[in-house]
Amino acid sequence: VLIEYSDFQCPFCKTYSIFSAKLAEEFADDMVVVFRHFPLDSIHSNARLAAEAAEAAGAQDKFWPMHDLLFEKQTEWSDLNDPTNTFVSYAATLELNVEQFETDLNSQVVKNKVKNDYFGGDDLGIQGTPTFILNGEKIDTPKSYDQFRKLIQSKLSTQ
């Protein structure tokens, strides 16, 4: 199990989200990738709302498409004073029920999911993003996809 603590407004997380997707595809039969929200509010003012947008999309089974879109268009929404309308437009692009998306975006259930992910990471001593937990152990973030791949292969070969 590979758990990724990430922040949608973090440029490094954008790069590593591509790595995670490739790893999930390559090791689909042997590994599960789990995404956890860790919005760094002090430096990324829109990260929490982006996480909530992903969860609101997830309520309509579109978490991963919204995840990908948020990272893909990170430069488009990162510096906005309020990216809510932009996120609503993404929901429409993904053919979500926009009214339901807006309701979910403002729901306590969605807000609590993001908070719980954050507090879980905080309890683990996570301070920055991206941070990865592999089979219950925090790992040093690999410098490249190839390093990441070798680390996963090594873990699989010892099981």
Contacts of 116 (CB under 8 A, 6+ apart): none
| Phi, psi angle pair for 64, to nearest 5° | -65, -40
Amino acid at 122: D
Q: What is the tens place of the pLDDT at every residue in 74-133?
A: 999 999 999 999 999 999 999 999 999 999 999 999 999 999 999 999 999 999 999 999
DSSP string for 79-102: T-S--HHHHHHHHHHTT--HHHHH
pTM: 0.94
Q: What is the tens place of the pLDDT at every residue in 18-41?
A: 999 999 999 999 999 999 999 999
CB crowding 27-52: b at 16 or more within 10 Å, else e: beeebebebbbbbbeeebbbbbbbbb
Instruction: Report the pLDDT value the prediction gives residue 158, as an integer from 0 to 100.
Output: 83
Q: What is the tens place of the pLDDT at every residue in 143-158?
A: 999 999 999 999 888 8
- Other beta carbons less than 10 A from residue 67's beta carbon: 22
